[in-house]
Amino acid sequence: MIETAVWHITAFYRFIPIEEAKIAPLRTEILGWMGERNMRGLVLVSCEGVNGTVAGTTESIEQFKTAMCDWVGTDDIRFKDSTSDVRPFRRLTVDVRKEIVTLKRPDLVPEITENSHLSPKEWHEMLSSENPPVLIDTRNTYETLTGKFKGAIDPQLKTFADWNTYLDNADLPKDQPVMIYCTGGIRCEKAIMAMHTRGFEKVYQLRDGILGYLAEYPNQLYEGDCYIFDERVGLDQNLQPSTKFGNCPGCGLTAEGLKECSICGKGYYMCPTCAEKWPPTCCKRCRDTWRQQEAKRKRAEAPKNQS
């Protein structure tokens, strides 16, 4: 990857039919094209469309947007841009999936329509009203730990596929307006369809998700940071890398509170559960070094303990 002081990043998705015979060649083309430009990130390709977040130089990102629209045959792709002085990805991955967001319902393929989408301004006004509708966060629990909209219901999802079970068991009004949101909008495209199949009549989603809202309304109705799926872990209210949260080296989930590695001195985050059994280190390599040092220390102290 090109070393740069500032990384330019874009996140996107588009539900659009792609013939199965074209999937493998498309993956190869995207992988080669991005590799030639030293870009990194994650792109998912499926018969239902494309989804991804990629990083590179300003020039390569702009070229990528044009190329992606050409590859899938539409100019109607919404790209959400950000910058970071923290490297967001270590490698380039282009994967073929059954779904570009896993609800385990490949039969539910959304048709992008603005009828159910609220702009950040419309969303803000509706939530600020005297009697706002029921508000539900469609993200996983480890994401909601970093922050969520004020008053939102957290369904405690371990995976997005649990959304189906939640809807089947939740006591929610089906004849009254419901608002749902996620990080960038893609999960809501399927979440809203799952709700419609269960008889929910008026469901509204936040267009472009939390990222789109924070771009226009920082430090307003969304509280905390926004979890994202790259090495930045979270973005603050100004869409800059979070200084509050990171991924725990023990379990890989969200952790709060910066610590210093006893081996290399690097800063890291660790959840309370792993802190009880994981040595004060930032990664598995430092953990192994710590254990080796502890074993050596105990061997050296053994004769003293026996005397």
| Angle, CA 95 vertex, CA 89 and CA 96 arms, to 5° | 160
Determine the pLDDT at residue 143. 95
Q: Is the pLDDT of residue 80 over 80?
A: yes
Q: CATH number for the 7-96 domain, one of 3.30.70.100, 3.30.70.270, 3.40.50.1370, 3.50.50.60?
A: 3.30.70.100
User: What average pLDDT score do residues 67-74 get?
Assistant: 97
User: What average pLDDT score do residues 200-219 get?
Assistant: 96
Residue 182 annotated in active site? yes
> For 166-188, how does the pLDDT look when each residue is reduced to its tens digit (9 = 90+)?
999 999 989 999 999 999 999 99
Backbone torsions φ then ψ of 280, nearest 5 degrees: -70, 70
Tell me which of 174 and 113 has the higher pLDDT.
Answer: 174
pTM: 0.85
Catalytic residue among 47, 69, 182, 274: 182
Determine the pLDDT at residue 86. 83
Per-domain residue ranges of the chain: 7-96, 114-227, 249-307
Residue 180: HSE in the Cβ half-sphere, 13 Å Cα cutoff: 23
Element (H, E) at 285: helix 284-306
User: What average pLDDT score do residues 43-56 get?
Assistant: 96
User: What average pLDDT score do residues 134-160 get?
Assistant: 96
- The CA-atom distances, in angstroms, between 248 and each of 237, 282, 292 are 22, 8, 22
Q: Is the pLDDT of residue 203 over 90?
A: yes
Tell me which of 251 and 62 has the higher pLDDT.
Answer: 62
Q: Is the pLDDT of residue 158 over 50?
A: yes
Ramachandran bin of 223, using left for φ above 0, alpha for ψ from -120 to 50, beta for the remaining angles: beta
Q: Is the pLDDT of residue 285 over 60?
A: yes
Domain 114-227 has CATH 3.30.200.20: no
Question: What average pLDDT is seen over the chain?
Answer: 92
Cα(21)–Cα(96) distance, rounded to whole angstroms? Answer: 12
Percent of the chain with pLDDT over 90: 81
The bridge status of strand 178-181 relative to strand 203-206 is parallel
Q: Is the pLDDT of residue 61 over 50?
A: yes
User: What average pLDDT score do residues 259-266 get?
Assistant: 95
Determine the pLDDT at residue 69. 98
Determine the pLDDT at residue 1. 42
Percent of the chain with pLDDT over 70: 95
User: What average pLDDT score do residues 2-18 get?
Assistant: 85
User: What average pLDDT score do residues 121-149 get?
Assistant: 96
Sheet holding 92-96, edge to edge: 78-84, 7-15, 49-56, 40-46, 92-96
Determine the pLDDT at residue 104. 84
Q: Is the pLDDT of residue 307 over 70?
A: no
Cα(261)–Cα(50) distance, rounded to whole angstroms? Answer: 39
> For 229-243, how does the pLDDT look when each residue is reduced to its tens digit (9 = 90+)?
998 999 999 999 998
Determine the pLDDT at residue 113. 57
